[in-house]
Amino acid sequence: AANGHADGVVDWVEHLGDQNHLHVTVGTKKLVTLTDPDTDLAQGDKVVIRYRAPLYFGADGQRLM
């Protein structure tokens, strides 16, 4: 991730109308990112996530940075 991206695998897609929450495993970590509602991704798809103004939260829901 030092170069601003991470390779991952889609765990599931949460459709929320105007956006999707994309649940992804990157290495041993789980993360959630946003994507457009017309993005055609499914469980098991490989993805590359490029970081753009990321926000980080702990398991307790508190923002880390």
Dump pLDDT digits (tens) for 12-28: 999 998 999 999 999 99
Kindly compute the dihedral angle of the four CA atoms of residues 16, 17, 18, 24, in this order, to the nearest 10 degrees: 30
Domain boundaries, the chain: 5-50
E strand map for 1-65: 5-15, 20-26, 29-35, 46-50
**Amino acid at site 43:** Q
**Percent share of the chain, pLDDT over 90:** 57
The DSSP symbol for 56 reads -
**Class assignment of domain 5-50?**
mainly beta
Instruction: Determine the Cα–Cα distance for residues 13 and 56; give it in Å rounded to an integer.
Output: 19
The DSSP symbol for 7 reads E
pTM of the model: 0.72
